[in-house]
Structure 1
């Protein structure tokens, strides 16, 4: 049996909300996904890569749109060697400095030290107004990672 997860990851990979803000945001999420198997907050010891699992289609340069899949694996290995403490990379296509977090992932992916987690949310989207409410509660813009495993 497969599962679906929604990870809501702060835009800044190194930022963490305080517990009160995270709990307030999680309460909003519980109300939006009442049929979910679980809603909670994940705190990680180090920066973690939240990917789309089987939903992942491709990875592209944020500047020129070039396909970066062949290059990306080695870049991830290098960043992982330091527990993703430095996500800075130079793209092979146009030679521009960026972050692994800012590449264009189809389906979205993100790096972070925490995430709001929804297990089997029972929905496949979140409205812009709903997302704004969660972001205001937690205190940060969020990236939505719809993961299928």
Structure 2
């Protein structure tokens, strides 16, 4: 059986909301998605990658628009990752055009991202969240959010 998650992460990977902000955001999610199996908030010591699971389609250079091969992208990810400190999001030379960027600046389809904080609705039994719902969560967490639809 597959699982579906809707994951909200801050646009700035190191941003951490307050406990009160997280409580308000979780309460709003429960109102919108009352049939979810769980709604979980997580904070990690270091930046983690939040993927979209089998929804993954491609990774493109944000400068030239060229699609990176999976081996090229994996190499960039491996070079940026440290076992003790997670992702550094350090600018690297891109194989497509030679521009310098971090893995966080690449264009992902479906959306994927990097953060220390995440808010996840597990098996929400609903479709996409609306732009209005996302805006409300952004106000509650006092930060712009990325919405990741993960199929595991």
Q: Who is 1:30 aligned against?
A: 30
Q: Who is 1:80 aligned against?
A: 81
Q: State the 1:68 CA deviation.
A: 1.1
Q: How does 1:1-149 map to 2 (within 5 A)?
A: 1-69=1-69, 70-81=71-82, 82-149=85-152
Q: State the 1:33 CA deviation.
A: 0.8
Q: Distance in 2 between matches of 1:117 and 1:53?
A: 14
| Structure 1: unaligned runs, 5 residues or longer | none
| Structure 2: unaligned runs, 5 residues or longer | none
> What is the aligned residue count?
149
Q: State the 1:134 CA deviation.
A: 0.5
Normalization by structure 2: what TM-score?
A: 0.92
CA separation of 1:30 and 1:87: change in aligned 2, threshold 3 A? farther
Q: State the 1:30 CA deviation.
A: 1.2
CA separation of 1:113 and 1:68: change in aligned 2, threshold 3 A? same
Deviations along 1:24-62, one digit per CA (max 9) or x if unpaired, are 111111111111110121111211000001111111111
Indicate the RMSD between aligned Cα atoms, in angstroms: 1.2
Q: State the 1:147 CA deviation.
A: 0.6
Normalization by structure 1: what TM-score?
A: 0.94
